[in-house]
Amino acid sequence: MAFRNFKMIGYVVYGRGSFDQLDEIIAPHRIAGAPMVFLVDHFFEGKPLASRVPVRGNDKLIFVDVSHEPKTSYVDSIAQDLKQTYGSISGVIGIGGGSAMDLAKAVSMMMTNPGSSADYQGWDLVKFAGVYKVGIPTLSGTGAEVSRTTVLSGPTRKLGMNSDFTPFDQIILDPALTANAPANQRFYTGMDCYIHCIESLNGTFLNEFSKSYGEKALQICKEVYVQKDHWDEDSDDKLMMASYAGGMSIAYSQVGVAHAVSYGLGYLLGTKHGIGNCIVFDKLEEFYPEGVKEFKLMVEKHKIDIPKNICAGLTDADFDKMIGVSLGMKPLWENALGKDWEKHMNADKLRKLYEQL
Ligand code: NAD
Ligand code: ZN
């Protein structure tokens, strides 16, 4: 058996206000004449954070549209424009939630790899290291800041560019950037972390490495969402580290049923990752009884809306498409249900599950 030798992020800064070190941190990575490119979540257009971005010389700040999760066509168009305008760039800095961070990772790699990002959806297909890249989360939960993937919807599939060239060279974890995120959004993204932990800790791929991070992340999630009775700065500080640890936990294991089913929703209906996971996880008592019980408690406590009946009115062809995408996520099912997972999950059973959502 070969043990996975996984690439981690380069440098990490953690701390409230650490965003203001960005200028100093990227300075040594500036190449004469080649700009730094800041891909900033469009939520921050006109907000104070935008004016704190250290734009110098011919640097470029682009507000990225994350109303939909990143598409390969969007990545390609940003990278093409940059190549046409500047030839080469010094680096890409992604500032925002998982979507903006994933865009930054993908654009970095597409500055140096030929063709379309769709050609690299899969495992270890990327050929050349991208340009210098930095991730700065403004929502906590996805673990995109530490992962070796960047999830993209392409012409034929929703799949990441999984590679050793994908992780950031630098991340800046400044919990102050997550303050004031709307409660529903903060919950959906935070639950991505909670669900990563439940899926990793209950999975067959679990080892002590994953467990040590997963248990810590889960404990933090419980502190902020179950034990505390209101949200405060301390909650933001903690959840940012839960996201990091949750991401580290799945780096050496895998996610499970909620993610596999949620990918189908994302592909067909465009349901976003965080909310999709919540919609699915709510119905997974059979697979994760304790986690689902606690999840329901957290939903109630934080007065969160979980959309219902999103699959009402879908055709057989629609269901088949979702089922196809979902059952295609073989490693996720194998992690969740074991090597003989096909004995426990099939198209009929999955259809019944989708019908409940
Ligand atoms: P997101 O990045 O999609 O953002 C959700 C919404 O929140 C957007 O409207 C955004 O503008 C807004 N927003 C961001 N920061 C905010 C703030 N501080 N205050 C108010 N609003 C803010 O949400 P997400 O849940 O962080 O990321 C989901 C994406 O991450 C999906 O595309 C998913 O595929 C991806 N993802 C990637 C990985 C990975 O390992 N690469 C893992 C999980 C999820
Ligand atoms: Zn996730």
The residues spanned by each domain of the chain are 11-178, 183-356
Tens of pLDDT, residue by residue over 296-341, are 999 999 999 999 999 999 999 999 999 999 999 999 999 999 999 9
CB 105 within 8 A of CB 147: no
CB of 189 closer than 6 A to ligand 1?
A: yes
Question: What pLDDT was estimated at residue 2?
Answer: 80
Question: What pLDDT was estimated at residue 207?
Answer: 94
Task: Please state, as a whole number, how many other Cβ atoms lie within 10 Å of the Cβ of residue 15.
Answer: 13
CB 258 within 8 A of CB 280: yes
Q: Which residues pair with 253 in a beta bridge?
A: none
CB of 139 closer than 6 A to ligand 1?
A: yes
Residue with CA nearest ligand 1 atom 12: 43
CB of 254 closer than 6 A to ligand 1?
A: no
The architecture in CATH of the region 11-178 reads: 3-Layer(aba) Sandwich (3.40)
CB of 143 closer than 6 A to ligand 1?
A: yes
Query: Residues 258, 259, 265, 271: what is their CA dihedral angle, to the nearest 10 degrees?
Result: 100
In this prediction, the residues of the chain whose per-residue pLDDT falls under 50 are: none
Burial 319-340 (b: 16+ CB within 10 A, else e): beebbebbbbbeebbbbbbeee
Residues with CB under 5 A from ligand 2 (ion): 192
**Whole-model pTM?**
0.97
CB of 104 closer than 6 A to ligand 1?
A: no
Residue with CA nearest ligand 1 atom 36: 98
Query: Residues 184, 172, 88, 37: what is their CA dihedral angle, to the nearest 10 degrees?
Result: 50
Pocket test for ligand 1, best of 9, 45, 66, 157 (most atoms within 8 A of CB): 66
Which CATH number is associated with domain 183-356?
A: 1.20.1090.10
CB of 96 closer than 6 A to ligand 1?
A: yes
Using the structure block, give the residue that is written with the tokens 């990441």.
160
Tens of pLDDT, residue by residue over 18-47, are 999 999 999 999 999 999 999 999 999 999
Looking at the chain, list the stretches that DSSP marks H as alpha helix, in order from N- to C-terminal side: 22-26, 48-51, 72-86, 98-110, 183-201, 208-222, 233-251, 257-269, 273-281, 289-301, 316-327, 330-337, 347-356
Question: What pLDDT was estimated at residue 1?
Answer: 65
Closest listed residue to residue 282, CA positions, set 311, 306, 256, 257 = 306
Measured CA angle at 204 (ends 201, 206), to 5 deg: 50
Question: What pLDDT was estimated at residue 147?
Answer: 95
